[in-house]
């Protein structure tokens, strides 16, 4: 579904395209690289689950593509990366996470990312969902999401769901033991390696994983 159609169905959501100037605070559209091999792999070799989302952090076949060496050398300046994907049927804000590295995403489907910045959180480390900004990302457009940009799984814009490439520094999102005695608020948010996260009360991050309840207001849903 087109950006104009999705925006019209979500009048209460601040929504832009990733090509708009408003996105520059959160990330950038990557130019000069041909991400077609990743997009074609996702099309041919991955499925959208019947319900919920599926995240796979590392896929050997995608990591073996020549493009990965180029991405690793230039976009990440030699830092080892992992190449995986997140496919799903999600349409709710639910939660936020951030990493202390960039995240590169592109897909064969249109999708919407909901975002916020760590530095804009309240003194209590919370956000009102009405202040969250949504960005429409068309199929085939690759974006770099900057470190400390709050984001989560994309939202679908049609019944077929979404397919989204996820490139991160190697080891990100692997299991980690949560701090028993957190020194500060950020320590409380550690959910995995290089992953700090919190959620809305209705999300599994809070309800079943014991995460910090940091999103208040409506659990925003992207309609289409």
> How many angstroms separate the CA atoms of 51 and 69, rounded?
33
What is the number of domains present in the chain?
A: 1
Q: Cβ contacts of residue 163 below 8 Å, gap of 6+?
A: 42, 43, 46, 48, 85, 87, 107, 108, 109
Please, which pLDDT band fits residue 181 given cuts at 50, 70 and 90?
very high
Please, which pLDDT band fits residue 185 given cuts at 50, 70 and 90?
very high
**Given this model, what pLDDT does residue 11 score?**
97
- Tokens 């950020």 belong to which residue? 186
By three-state DSSP, how is residue 32 classified? coil
Please, which pLDDT band fits residue 204 given cuts at 50, 70 and 90?
very high
Looking up residue 116, the CATH number of its domain turns out to be 2.60.120.10
Instruction: For residue 41, report the phi and psi dihedrals to the nearest 5 degrees.
Output: -65, -45
| Inside any domain, residue 47 | yes
| Inside any domain, residue 12 | yes
Q: What mean pLDDT, rounded, does the chain reach?
A: 97
Q: Are 23 and 29 in contact (CB under 8 A)?
A: yes
| Inside any domain, residue 190 | no
Write out pLDDT tens, residues 26-74. Answer: 999 999 999 999 999 999 999 999 999 999 999 999 999 999 999 999 9
Write out pLDDT tens, residues 76-110. Answer: 999 999 999 999 999 999 999 999 999 999 999 99
- For the chain, the helix, strand and coil percentages under 3-state DSSP, each to the nearest 5: 20, 30, 45
Buried b (16+ CB within 10 A) or exposed e, 53-69: beeebbbeebbebebbe
Find the domain containing 13 and state its range: 3-174
By three-state DSSP, how is residue 114 classified? strand
| Inside any domain, residue 215 | no
| Inside any domain, residue 141 | yes
| Inside any domain, residue 197 | no
**Structure pTM?**
0.97
Residue of 174, 169, 133, 168 whose CA lies nearest to 151: 133
| Inside any domain, residue 186 | no
């Amino acid at each position: 579904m087109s950006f104009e159609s999705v925006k019209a169905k979500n009048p209460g959501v601040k929504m832009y395209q990733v090509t708009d100037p408003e996105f520059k605070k959160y990330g950038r559209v990557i130019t000069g690289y041909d991400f077609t091999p990743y997009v074609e792999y996702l099309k041919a070799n991955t499925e959208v689950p019947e319900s919920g989302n599926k995240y796979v952090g590392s896929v050997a076949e995608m990591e073996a593509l020549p493009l990965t060496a180029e991405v690793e050398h230039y976009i990440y300046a030699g830092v080892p990366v992992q190449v995986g994907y997140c496919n799903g049927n999600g349409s709710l804000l639910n939660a936020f996470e951030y990493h202390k590295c960039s995240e590169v995403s592109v897909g064969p489907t249109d999708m919407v990312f909901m975002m916020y910045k760590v530095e804009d959180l309240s003194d209590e480390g919370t956000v009102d969902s009405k202040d969250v900004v949504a960005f429409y990302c068309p199929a085939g457009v690759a974006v770099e999401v900057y470190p400390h940009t709050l984001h989560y799984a994309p939202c679908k814009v049609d019944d077929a769901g979404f397919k989204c490439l996820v490139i991160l520094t190697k080891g990100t999102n692997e299991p980690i033991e949560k701090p028993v005695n957190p020194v500060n608020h950020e320590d409380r948010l550690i959910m995995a390696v290089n992953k700090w996260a919190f959620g809305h009360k209705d999300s599994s991050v809070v309800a079943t994983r014991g995460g910090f309840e940091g999103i208040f207001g409506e659990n925003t849903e992207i309609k289409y």
